[in-house]
Amino acid sequence: MPSIDWFIVGEIIYVLIVICVCLRIIYETRSSTKTLAYLLLTIFIPVAGIILYFSIGINYRNKSMYSKKLVRDQKLQERLKIQIFKSSFDALHSVGDYGLVYKGLAHMILKDMMSPLTTNNAVKILINGEQTFKEILLAINEAQNHIHLEYYTFENDYIGNTIKDALIRKAKEGVEVRFIYDHFGSRSIRGKFSKELEEAGVKIYPFHKITFLLLANRLNYRNHRKIIVIDGHTSFVGGINVADRYTNDESRGEKVYWRDTHVCIKGPGSFYLQYIFLCDWNFCSPDKLQPEQRFFSELPVSDGGSLVQIVSSGPDSSSPSILYTLLKAIGTAKEEILITTPYFIPGESLMDALIIASLSGISVKLLVPYISDSKFVNAAAHSYYDDLLNAGVRIFRYKKGFIHAKTVVCDSKLAIIGTANMDQRSFDLNFEVMSLMLDPKVAEELRDVFNSDLKHAEEIDAYQWEHRAKWRKFMEKSARMISPLL
């Protein structure tokens, strides 16, 4: 009887596994570029390619892994839907002709995720941690009923402990304090820090606790949101995490200047941020919350305040809502588009939108860091600049320090401030959120901030960029090949 050649058997089994994985990739992955990237990994990198795909490649967008439903009664949901649509379009019509230009954008967000367009909001743009943390601490000190926090990065450093002490003080006063943190991004507060909060009465939970068996997958799906909601009517959202590096305090050894933007919203614009928090809380905490009236409190604001609409997305979304919102906003612009982002790996649809806008005569300006905190991401981003420059997009690289803001201004009418970068991770994998302010005053203020940042930036010369070293182009294009996996 001939002996079995186990090596050949193993090869056959492995080939069958590769075929099955390739079929799954083709069936499960929506993006053709991602499909090709995962297929190349699986076929040409034995074993490791398959492991990488199952670690970061599985699309959870169509899986019931998360639930955002707070209201289970179907009839009540329908009544709320009708009320939200009516109030949103009443708000849009109340601001005149300039508001009607964005009717399609507001309708898309409403239909996609039932996020209302709210009016009579007081909006305050906050620059850097110096302004932001001061306003946050003031709002925490004024809290009467509850404080809800949700952060990607919350560090065990000076500013982190300052906010921790304020939360403990309010919890001892009887204010309900709830805190969600990303288990990967806020790993420095997992031990003693979080225990001190718990012992003081703060309810604190990681959004997605990392365990060994699920390590890679849960690292991949990160809660990148930065949300604070106080008493249901005052909220904060934007790019600023809780960490000393955002304060630019040289006395504490901060050497790199961090430029970032946050926003404080007072009024009904806070309601959907509260809704997001409650959904996330019910996912990660055994202490389930219901949408009680006290979580959605009215705060009197003078007539003529800002129109605010909130957009969120993540593996719990039926569609990439933030990407769709950006595409629609760019497509609606008539004169000018100003974008600030620390990471620019846009994908085909966003690239096409920016190129079309520029070729149509719209002034498109992109502000990015001169030096990124990731050389690989930096190289991948550079590979996209050629096509943009050829289409007339002006690209500026910030040199004063590291620019971490995520903002968009369209026609000095629409201002966007959020947590999402211009990359595939933010659009597809991370839990993100951003605020849209339809208000000429707010948009003009954010435009002034953009122009002020340009004073510390260097514009890329299209001719010089085109004639940079060939080896550099090769490295950048190589990085771009796997940029859909970043």
Domains 121-305 and 321-485 share a fold: yes
pLDDT tens, 240-273? 999 999 999 877 777 789 999 999 999 999 999 9
Which among 296, 291, 237, 292 is positioned nearest to 268, based on CA atoms? 296
467 is catalytic: no
* Distance in angstroms (rounded) separating the CA atoms of residues 461 and 284: 48
Every domain of the chain and the residues it spans: 6-55, 121-305, 321-485
Question: Among the options 404, 413, 423, 428, which is catalytic?
Answer: 404
Q: Are 155 and 163 in contact (CB under 8 A)?
A: no
C-alpha radius of gyration, the chain, whole number: 23
Question: Among the options 406, 413, 428, 439, which is catalytic?
Answer: 406
- pLDDT given at position 213: 41
* Distance in angstroms (rounded) separating the CA atoms of residues 306 and 310: 13
Q: Are 349 and 323 in contact (CB under 8 A)?
A: yes
Q: In the chain, which residues have pLDDT < 50?
A: 62, 64, 73, 212-218
Question: Among the options 34, 146, 182, 231, which is catalytic?
Answer: 231
* Distance in angstroms (rounded) separating the CA atoms of residues 404 and 402: 6
User: Is 103 strand, coil or helix?
Assistant: helix
Which among 165, 121, 181, 173 is positioned nearest to 143, based on CA atoms? 173
pLDDT tens, 403-443? 999 999 999 999 999 999 999 889 988 999 999 999 999 99
195 is catalytic: no
User: Is 266 strand, coil or helix?
Assistant: strand
**Superfamily covering domain 321-485:** Endonuclease Chain A (3.30.870.10)
Domain formed by 121-305, architecture: 2-Layer Sandwich (3.30)
411 is catalytic: yes
- pLDDT given at position 219: 53
Question: Among the options 34, 68, 148, 224, which is catalytic?
Answer: 224
Give the H or E element holding residue 472: helix 470-481
Which among 436, 442, 403 is positioned nearest to 421, based on CA atoms? 403
Which among 417, 454, 473 is positioned nearest to 260, based on CA atoms? 417
124 is catalytic: no
Give the H or E element holding residue 118: strand 118-127
pLDDT tens, 185-233? 899 998 899 999 999 999 999 987 766 444 444 456 789 999 999 999 9
pLDDT tens, 386-406? 999 999 999 999 999 999 999
Question: Among the options 148, 226, 233, 266, which is catalytic?
Answer: 226
- pLDDT given at position 79: 62
